């Protein structure tokens, strides 16, 4: 049996987030510029290569696989990949296969995802106002996403809503979003906007709404109980006693969450980022493509990459400038 992946700070790496495409059918103002230049399709790993890459990580102890993008469900043939990954669920090596999506394609794919073994999904949704939704996504349509959420729940998928906290945009919607999620049995996680990529004329600092203020709003309206739950990831959780729902806070800017990090991110081109908030990466493509008959070089390349995982990131808005800003877009690394 292969020994598990352990980074230099004694953290076991058991969670892989995989961006299967940098393309998206939205152009969210905090994520992309409106006129994006996407990678040439020939540079992307094929679905077969993604399968082999993910399977190598699973062989080395990864137990949770989250598929991201861009928008993962716009990748042609993506359900073939999900169906192939389900074999690792069936043999017990993989404990969870899941995805993060904008919800636009769920009306079409929800049943297929459930059949492939997906049991819960994260859906990005920043507002319930149709006009504001069109503004923040530029190309998105709220009714399409809401139908996708309906389809996901009908298919038996547990849905968690991810909302980016945007100052001056969705501050007043906190009660409405919270109650709407509670009525549908959905948990809600708030995320601080992160300095990733050139987004044109948008003002990062102007967008930043600290989750300390979000929590203060909850405490003024609800009985808020801290939860001890930890996933090795960035979220910290509370329970609203009045609704019973779980609220998460992902705070890369107001709180460094790296001490228990158990994850790495693989891009659609085969680059492995050991930290979302650092530029260091390892290119796994040579080990994959130059050795078609053996995964041992790929295993060695993965292990070597994990040895370079940093202790943490350095996102910082405290001095009113974008310290720790990443040049790549979130859609490249995977949300």
> Kind of pairing, strands 271-273 and 263-266?
antiparallel
* Residue 54 among known ligand-binding residues: no
* Residue 70 among known ligand-binding residues: yes
Q: Is 277 exposed, middle or buried (0-12, 13-18, 19+ CB in 10 A)?
A: buried
* Residue 261 among known ligand-binding residues: yes
* Residue 181 among known ligand-binding residues: no
Taking the alpha carbons at both ends of the chain, their separation in whole angstroms is 31
Q: In the structure encoding, which two tokens stand for residue 320, read together?
A: 């009113």
* Residue 265 among known ligand-binding residues: yes
Q: Smallest Cα–Cα separation from 249: which of 216, 207, 206?
A: 216
* Residue 264 among known ligand-binding residues: yes
* Residue 147 among known ligand-binding residues: no
Q: Which residues contact 203 (CB under 8 A, 6 or more apart)?
A: none
Beta-strand ranges (E) seen in the chain are 15-19, 64-68, 96-101, 120-124, 158-165, 187-192, 224-226, 235-240, 246-250, 263-266, 271-273, 281-283
Q: Smallest Cα–Cα separation from 161: which of 177, 138, 144?
A: 177
* Residue 222 among known ligand-binding residues: no
* Residue 303 among known ligand-binding residues: no
* Residue 268 among known ligand-binding residues: no
* Residue 28 among known ligand-binding residues: yes
* Residue 160 among known ligand-binding residues: yes
* Residue 196 among known ligand-binding residues: no
Question: Binding site for GTP, residues?
Answer: 17, 66, 100, 160, 263-265
Binding residues: 17, 24, 28, 30-31, 66, 70, 100, 124, 160, 194, 258, 261, 263-265, 275
Residue ranges at the known binding site for S-adenosyl-L-methionine: 30, 70, 124, 194
Q: Please enumerate, by residue number, every residue annotated as part of a binding site for [4Fe-4S] cluster.
A: 24, 28, 31, 258, 261, 275
């Amino acid at each position: 049996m292969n020994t598990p992946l352990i980074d230099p700070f004694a953290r076991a790496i058991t969670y892989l987030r995989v961006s299967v495409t940098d393309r998206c059918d939205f152009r969210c103002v905090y994520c992309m510029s409106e006129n994006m230049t996407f990678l040439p399709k020939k540079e992307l790993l094929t679905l077969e290569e993604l399968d082999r890459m993910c399977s190598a990580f699973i062989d080395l102890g990864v137990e949770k696989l989250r598929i991201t993008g861009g928008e993962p469900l716009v990748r042609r043939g993506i359900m073939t990949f999900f169906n192939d990954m389900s074999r690792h669920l069936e043999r017990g090596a993989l404990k969870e296969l899941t995805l993060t999506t904008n919800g636009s394609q769920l009306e079409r794919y929800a049943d297929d995802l459930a059949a492939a073994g997906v049991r819960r999904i994260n859906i990005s949704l920043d507002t319930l106002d149709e006009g504001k939704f069109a503004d923040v996504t530029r190309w998105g349509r709220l009714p399409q996403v809401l139908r996708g959420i309906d389809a996901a729940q009908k298919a038996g998928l547990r849905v968690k809503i991810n909302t980016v906290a945007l100052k001056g945009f969705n501050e007043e919607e906190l009660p409405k979003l919270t109650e709407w999620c509670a009525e549908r049995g959905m948990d809600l996680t708030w995320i601080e906007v992160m300095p990733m990529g050139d987004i044109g004329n948008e003002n990062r600092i102007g967008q930043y709404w600290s989750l300390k203020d979000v929590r203060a709003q909850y405490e003024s309206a609800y009985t808020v109980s801290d939860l001890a739950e930890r996933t090795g990831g960035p979220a910290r959780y509370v329970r609203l006693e009045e609704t019973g729902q779980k609220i998460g806070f992902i705070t890369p800017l107001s709180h460094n969450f790296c001490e228990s990090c158990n994850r790495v991110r693989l891009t659609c081109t085969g680059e492995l980022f050991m930290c979302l908030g650092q530029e260091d990466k390892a290119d796994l493509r040579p080990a994959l493509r130059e050795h078609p008959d053996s995964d041992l070089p790929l295993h060695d390349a993965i292990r070597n990459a994990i040895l370079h995982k940093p202790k943490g990131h350095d996102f910082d808005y405290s001095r009113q400038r974008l310290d720790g800003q990443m040049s790549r877009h979130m859609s490249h690394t995977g949300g």
